Structure 1
Amino acid sequence: MARNNRSILVVGLGRFGSSVATTLDSMGQDVLAVDKDPELVNRWSAQVPTVQADMTDVLAVEQLNASDFDTAVVAIGDSVEASVITAGNLLDAGISDIWAKSVSKEHARILQRIGARHIINAETDAGKRVGHLVSGNYLDYIEIEGSHTVVKIHTPSHVVGYSIADAKVNERYGVTVVGIKAPGSEFQYGSKELVMHRNDELVIMGKQDNIDKFIRG
């Protein structure tokens, strides 16, 4: 079931942060991107809401009303110190859902110790994938060759209690249920008679627009 849009603060507009921010914005999420570099802010301002600020400064965090945001992504990669201080400032501001990019095991360990909930290994987690995960609609997201995507989601409310065949998942939405994992049960491949229950995890494949349509119902 898709959750309501959340407000997300993305700090750092390098290659990774800009990819996260633009992905979230394209999904209709309420996103604000922040960087202390005016050139980067200017470069991305036409594509995503941006503001210039140094988030290692507590005063800047307060002026941005950071405490109003549900989630923050700390995408600073050029300075471990700035990354850790920023994450700490955002935690102090009351944002508990912090996603922070790490550039080393030591960096990740420090971020975990101060309370960052999700540590992103920037070498393996592409910004686009992280953007989709941060949005909260997907439990996992894998982009494959061509226009298709594989995602893991909870059963959308409009198909709870229906079999894959009765819900006409493929005919109506153009997506394929690859398999279903019910709580406490083994993964089952998506045969047409399988019934989708509320807390099941569905692995589905299809084009991005069709997947979003299936989630929304």
Structure 2
Amino acid sequence: MAVLQIGIIGLGKFGYYLGKNLVGMGHQVLGLDADPEKVRNAQNVLTQVYQLEASDKKALEQIRVADMAHVVVSVGHSMEASILISLYLKELGASKIWVKAVSTDHEKILRRIGVDEVFIPERYAAKQLAHRLANPGLIEFLPMDQQVAIKELIVEAWAGKTLRQLALTNTYGVQVIAYRLQGEKHYSYIPKADEPLRQGDFLVVVGNEKKLSDLKP
């Protein structure tokens, strides 16, 4: 996996944990915030941290944040600051700009500016939780056109059959992407087509959410 250089502007809870996870994945993260306490909290977590006012275009230019592969803007509930910073990043030539929005109107303005990705974490989290509550066993709902989701199934009726015999892709339009044998803690990611399934084994399947809910494993 290639190591990415990522800038995060705004080290509140979201920006801090985003950066921490990215560093844990082996990437280099430059964090920026005007709050000295947030900068101190992130100093031993992120690759490099600066205390500065990100709505100052010259300050952004001096630390060359626009040279990063991605820049994420997460400046709390300040629409004005978020929009201004995004505009400056565009003018400085940042290649990929992802921005946290706080409302639909905020999202519309950011898209007009031409940022590459706009996200509202609360909206995404609420949608994920709604689908997981309504569909037990659902691991993740994927934001695709055809309501694609990932679900974990426990083998019961399919016990003794092989994946080749079940032909899940041809019959139901779903695909097994991982499995875990009963009693084991870790998943394997290359399912064996001719090995009989056992009652209590776990299958991780991706496909249309409605089709996944109709499966009787």
TM-score normalised by length of structure 1: 0.59
Displacement of 1:117 in angstroms is 1.4
Q: Which runs of 5+ in 1 are unaligned?
A: 127-143, 153-162, 166-170, 182-186, 189-217
Does 2:93 correspond to 1:94? Answer: yes
SS state of the match for residue 14, structure 2?
helix
In structure 1, the partner of 2:59 is: 60
RMSD: 3.6
Task: Tell me the distance in 2 between the aligned counterparts of 1:151 and 1:27.
Answer: 20
Please name the residue that 2:115 is paired with: 116
- Number of residues paired by the alignment? 155
Percent identity over the alignment is: 33
Q: Which has the higher contact order (CA 8 A, sep 6+)?
A: 1
Q: Which residue of 2 is the match for residue 82 of structure 1?
A: 81
**Cα 1:150–1:63 shift into 2, 3 Å:** farther
1:174–1:90 CA distance, 2 compared to 1 (3 A)? same
Q: Give the alignment of 1:62-211 within 5 angstroms.
A: 62-125=61-124, 174-175=187-188, 178-179=204-205
- 1: distance between equivalents of 2:60 and 2:76? 19
Unaligned runs of 5+ in 2: 126-131, 133-137, 142-176, 189-201, 213-217
User: How many angstroms apart in 2 are the aligned matches of 1:99 and 1:54?
Assistant: 19
Task: List per-residue Cα deviations over 1:120-160 (Å, max 9, x = no partner).
Answer: 1131346xxxxxxxxxxxxxxxxx9xxxx9579xxxxxxxx
Does the CA contact (< 8 Å) of 2:66 and 2:95 recur in 1? Answer: no
Larger Rg computed on CA atoms:
2
1:174 is aligned with what amino acid?
A: Y
Taking the aligned partners of 1:177 and 1:51, their CA distance within structure 2 comes to 45
Runs of 4+ displaced beyond 2 Å: 149-152, 173-181
